[in-house]
A and B are shown apart, each in its own frame.
Chain A
């Protein structure tokens, strides 16, 4: 099978996305969820890069990647702040304990 470098890039992107999704579905610890989210985002960045290479529009791809990095950083930061707040209020990082709104 003749894989070009860009194909490898795309494959890596897909696997990273899969890893990230698996983490989001399985993980219970708040901070580890953010780690999984970060992996997911890296995967999408690589996918955008691959798309840019396939289409030849690499400048557009870079612009999008930059925006995505900024957004992802803000999300991660806010998520971490939330996690820390939860720790301070409830003393736990476990998702299953965050059911105060239930019912």
Chain B
């Protein structure tokens, strides 16, 4: 019963997060949804994961969202979606239905039987995961350092490792600073022939 309430709560918060017009309330709803998720995890018996999810999902991500929103201002209403809503609904609904068909289990519920300790599983069996996490965090930090460095250094790379170590590296500089806009996508070169025959 508790699970149902929590699940419904999470769903409602998620729906609201996507529906509201202004960004700040959306971030709040998202934080609430993360909190509900954390509670669901706890109710399922995954205590440690629940704690981490609460602090990271409802905490860290929320704060980062607030920061980003504050840097850039609240959004207006967006334009019409590029992909028609009905098509999106159909596609996603169909995919979901099919995935559900594949994934829905035959009735068996082993409850909360735990086959081992988390610590053993994490540090012994899944050492690679730990290494990956470390690498991810490190490279993520580098990315952000590169991306949000002073405006003169443009590090346009999307790849995680591509961040410029030295933010004021002149070779990466585009001569004009970031306050000028990049040219709008003006001429659609349809029928471009590519390499000259």
Contacts and interface: CB of A to CB of B under 8 A. Distances in A.
B93 A18 contact: yes
Interface string A1-39: 010111111111011111101110111110110111011
Contact of A36 (B18, B27, B48, B115): B18
Contacts of B52: 65-66, 69
Contact of B34 (A28, A42, A52, A66): A42
A89 B17 contact: no
Interface size class of A (residues with CB under 8 A): 35 or more
Contacts of B129: 63-64, 67
A28 B78 contact: yes
A44 to B, nearest CB: 11
Contact residues of A: prevailing secondary structure: helix
A75 B43 CA distance: 27
Interface in B33-57: 33-34, 37, 40-41, 43-46, 48-49, 52-53, 56-57
Nearest to B143: A78
A92 to B, nearest CB: 9
B139 to A, nearest CB: 8
B82 A62 contact: no
Nearest to A58: B114
Contacts of A21: 92, 95-96
A57 B147 CA distance: 40
Nearest to A16: B14
A73 B92 contact: no
A9 B156 CA distance: 40
B121 interface: yes
Given A8-B7, A62-B118, A70-B136, 20 more contacts: A15-B11, A18-B93, A19-B11, A22-B88, A31-B65, A35-B27, A38-B30, A38-B57, A38-B61, A42-B37, A49-B40, A53-B111, A54-B108, A56-B110, A57-B115, A69-B57, A73-B140, A77-B64, A77-B144, A100-B182
20 contacts: A8-B3, A12-B10, A12-B40, A14-B96, A15-B96, A22-B89, A23-B18, A25-B81, A27-B78, A29-B23, A46-B41, A49-B41, A61-B46, A63-B118, A63-B129, A67-B130, A87-B71, A91-B181, A97-B184, A102-B185
Interface of A: 2, 4-12, 14-19, 21-23, 25-29, 31-32, 34-36, 38-39, 42, 45-47, 49-50, 52-67, 69-71, 73-78, 80-85, 87-91, 93-97, 99-100, 102-103
